[in-house]
Chains A and B, each alone.
Chain A
Amino acid sequence: AQSVTQLDSQVPVFEEAPVELRCNYSSSVSVYLFWYVQYPNQGLQLLLKYLSGSTLVKGINGFEAEFNKSQTSFHLRKPSVHISDTAEYFCAVSGRGSQGNLIFGKGTKLSVKP
């Protein structure tokens, strides 16, 4: 079984500042890792994913994440945030071979202030 921990429930940050949203996971098998974004009153949109290969993954809207197997982490970063990045961000994991069953973290609310 897998589990996901998002260490920060809320992250306030000023516009144009860098941001890191933290995600740790646990699993007894190899995993796929994902970050989703949910804008207010909308569904989830895939930001980026790690399946295999390079541990640094680039996604949409200037976000990137790094898979660290030894630390079982998959932190999301953006060097300079915009007001429009205000949303809730979910980290998710699935075990290889059981891709359909995404296990989500509790989410991190990113608030970008002018």
Chain B
Amino acid sequence: SAVISQKPSRDICQRGTSLTIQCQVDSQVTMMFWYRQQPGQSLTLIATANQGSEATYESGFVIDKFPISRPNLTFSTLTVSNMSPEDSSIYLCSVEKVPGGAYEQYFGPGTRLTVT
């Protein structure tokens, strides 16, 4: 398994500002992912972050709005830039593990962001 922590757990921000969310894993992992869960909605993949390469963004998400860093195999950050109320969501990071060849993806507790 994997133990994932996120900081902050929640925040209230003003529109036009930026927030950086940190994700820390208790073991080295190759692939990390960032998801968004809008109020009352399901999870949507924002981007995939591999150490040593640029993040890969899904359709509808761009690097200028959601820059991602992946400096090592246990840590990643997601920045939500120039925020608007529409960015109010829960942001979750996840990691992929393949124990014994059996694929699993583990999620952090999430960061609840409210933009006013």
Residues of A within 8 A of B (CB): 32, 34, 36, 42-46, 49, 51, 90, 99-102, 104-107
Contacts and interface: CB of A to CB of B under 8 A. Distances in A.
Given A42-B109, A49-B102, A99-B105, 15 more contacts: A42-B110, A43-B107, A43-B109, A44-B43, A44-B92, A44-B94, A46-B104, A46-B105, A49-B103, A100-B31, A100-B33, A100-B96, A101-B48, A102-B43, A104-B42
A54 to B, nearest CB: 13
Contacts of A101: 45, 48, 58
B38 to A, nearest CB: 11
B108 interface: yes
A93 to B, nearest CB: 12
Contacts of A46: 104-106
Interface residues of B, number: 22
B102 A51 contact: yes
Contact of A107 (B42, B102, B106, B109): B42
A15 to B, nearest CB: 26
A102 B103 contact: no
A105 B42 CA distance: 6
Contacts of B104: 46, 49
Nearest to B90: A43
